[in-house]
Structure 1
């Protein structure tokens, strides 16, 4: 029987972050990952010399960036130029991203330009927490007057959150994500797999042990207290604390009688965000200026990440396209839409194609802050002593990778807090939005 202070189930960004903070606190820590490599949805695939993420990835200057800096992670990459276009009624029109383009763009009327300029100034200092209990549509309809400015904001906020519609997202978190985006975005050299490797190295140096290609089957509980995790190959790992850095549905499956715990609520309230993603590596760009496009009347986004990051060993240009998905999706039709965007942005791209990757439906986030949510997940499962959750779905107001790192830190902080108090405190984590 192997014994640990903390066992982390899942080796993605949340799991690695949790393991590092547990180890930094002096806890004997192990990470169990069912795949043969760490990273989860942050892995990168190298194809014909090009580095592809699992869909378009960008690191905003939010919680995750601050966490990586705090941990000493060497985040290699650069900030791309924001100069780009909006796709409106089949045409590419200059986006208002700076003073010159604001006054020359044909997207907006003069009144619209003035309103947009005013909002961009307000965003930097705006306290968004007052909008955490209303939908994005409610905020937009109540605050933005010009119809085209609304269209533009919907496009920007859709790209920041990956959520296709405005009726479900709580406005506050999405607006905060846009604030982070305005503070700066970084594309990472050689993809996010390099970030995962950096986190693995830090964890290893702190003494974290890793088991890969081994699936956890159950978390054994006795008298409401975590005892051990049992793996598919029969390995048993005794642990005083278990952090489930998995999806809410898997967390629910791993815990006996989970229907009697908060895991049931978290599973039931979860709304998955998905996207269709097309990545291509081109020998050269037929239209070098058309590298960054927001779909305004279409739920599509295009960016050439090679304009700011090293993503090819032989100089190819790696372009990512995203189709934000709702409940209904058609893989073939969405591929045609994404390729149609490429036809418009980079005509003749097929003659320059070196390699491509199409992911018809990838999970972006297992849940997010939406107006139908009953409570915020984690960090602790209150009915079971020593059990915690982490992941981008365990958000308390953060989005995407920011939620992954924030929830991981919350889990470890809560664990240490309980241990410092001899675990004799009442549940204090479950905020209702």
Structure 2
């Protein structure tokens, strides 16, 4: 089989890249090892409830703009931002608007004034100015009231799905919080519906999809890509190959990758994970307590059913997250998540319809952190016609925004080089 573009990996980044390549007139194929497309964006339907793989919210960033441009319906709604915070074992109103800011017991009058000033100021800042300092350094340098600092850590942790303030570059996380303040979108029947639509768009543009076919090698010769070799012996020849897989997987696929930038990207990658507990309840024991941020705990709870249809029979689907550091203990994490649910929705066990626990769910395989040597891709400079995409190939975007932005960068490079004269030098965006 011979194609203009072969995409290895059928997640959000892979499907996005395939659609844009096909729209540009390139004969395109997606090679996916699983039977289902979507990667970490699939949705599991259990006992009539739709469970994503962990908490999923669509921010109004690059991914939302991309999906709208591609014509996806994105059925769902923006949830209310009325929230509570967990501080010293108690629930208190979180200052998310004018009313809650005035009534919250968490802040002093001085703290309320500083927090209100920051809510106004955030929308005007150029976040790129903070790309080279850590999130902790930015907070400790700029936020003065101790409780306001605690609230910032909590909000920024939730916006980025990461508890790594000493490693995270401040700029991207602050931009993510800025996007979050516009609200988020919870999708009806989960993110699997979005994957279904992306798949149909790809097929509609003529993309070939080779599912249940594991790529084992990306062959190259003389500095040019040749083909993708699959486990069953299938060989997919292509002038351009986009690896929409994690950095370690990309490194394994390419012979002699240690002599390429793929090695640097793999070695510098720092994975972010969460423990995820999703439950479907017949009813909420405490209907008002549907959105809760941990302030002195790295937990988060959201009843996504308050904005989206996530069950066939009206059950309420609640997602809980424990943002993990280097110390991961599945039993302890599950206990902490269940204790959070005990506090927020006491008696939930008697209302339980179904649950799903993911002890170590990957949020991203890499991110903009201070130990990075360079931002990955879109091209592998040593091998013409080879590109990378995925949430880890970020140039400042976060989460699914990084997946779609990196996919489009890869396709832009494909289109900028003719098949007969593919250049061997490509742009790199250095970090230091």
TM above 0.5: yes
Structure 1: gaps spanning 5 or more residues: none
> Do residues 423 (structure 1) and 425 (structure 2) align?
no
> Do residues 205 (structure 1) and 242 (structure 2) align?
no
Whole-angstrom distance in 2 between the partners of 1:115 and 1:84: 19
Corresponding residue of 1:391: 390
TM-score (ref. length: structure 1): 0.99
Corresponding residue of 1:246: 245
**What is the Cα deviation at residue 124 of structure 1?**
1.2
Q: Contact conserved, 1:32 with 1:214, CA < 8 A, in 2?
A: yes
Per-residue Cα deviation, 1:274-318 (whole angstroms, up to 9, x for no partner): 000000000000000000000000000000000000000000000
Helix, strand or coil: the match of 1:198? helix
Helix, strand or coil: the match of 2:144? coil
**What is the Cα deviation at residue 165 of structure 1?**
2.5
Corresponding residue of 1:237: 236
Corresponding residue of 2:34: 35
Whole-angstrom distance in 2 between the partners of 1:428 and 1:306: 44
- Deviation >4 Å, runs of 4+: none
Whole-angstrom distance in 1 between the partners of 2:316 and 2:374: 43
Corresponding residue of 1:343: 342
Corresponding residue of 2:297: 298
**What is the Cα deviation at residue 425 of structure 1?**
6.5
Per-residue Cα deviation, 1:193-212 (whole angstroms, up to 9, x for no partner): 00000000100000001011
> Do residues 413 (structure 1) and 409 (structure 2) align?
no
Corresponding residue of 1:80: 79
Q: Contact conserved, 2:395 with 2:429, CA < 8 A, in 1?
A: no
Change (3 A) 1:314 1:417: same
Q: Contact conserved, 1:418 with 1:425, CA < 8 A, in 2?
A: no
Corresponding residue of 2:257: 258
Corresponding residue of 1:14: 13
Q: Contact conserved, 2:34 with 2:212, CA < 8 A, in 1?
A: yes
TM-score (ref. length: structure 2): 0.99
Corresponding residue of 1:280: 279
> Do residues 191 (structure 1) and 187 (structure 2) align?
no
> Do residues 158 (structure 1) and 157 (structure 2) align?
yes
Per-residue Cα deviation, 1:240-288 (whole angstroms, up to 9, x for no partner): 0000000000000000000000000000000000000000000000000
Corresponding residue of 2:112: 113
Whole-angstrom distance in 2 between the partners of 1:64 and 1:128: 19
Q: Contact conserved, 2:239 with 2:419, CA < 8 A, in 1?
A: no
Whole-angstrom distance in 2 between the partners of 1:421 and 1:398: 33
**What is the Cα deviation at residue 183 of structure 1?**
1.4
> Do residues 216 (structure 1) and 234 (structure 2) align?
no
> Do residues 137 (structure 1) and 132 (structure 2) align?
no
**What is the Cα deviation at residue 428 of structure 1?**
1.6
Structure 2: gaps spanning 5 or more residues: none
Whole-angstrom distance in 1 between the partners of 2:82 and 2:226: 54
Helix, strand or coil: the match of 2:255? coil
Per-residue Cα deviation, 1:397-422 (whole angstroms, up to 9, x for no partner): 00100000000000000111122893
Count of paired positions: 432
Helix, strand or coil: the match of 1:20? helix
Helix, strand or coil: the match of 1:278? strand
Whole-angstrom distance in 1 between the partners of 2:202 and 2:134: 39
Helix, strand or coil: the match of 1:191? coil
**What is the Cα deviation at residue 50 of structure 1?**
0.2
Helix, strand or coil: the match of 1:381? coil
Helix, strand or coil: the match of 1:419? coil
> Do residues 62 (structure 1) and 61 (structure 2) align?
yes
Whole-angstrom distance in 2 between the partners of 1:123 and 1:425: 41
Corresponding residue of 1:402: 401
RMSD: 1.0
Q: Contact conserved, 1:274 with 1:363, CA < 8 A, in 2?
A: yes
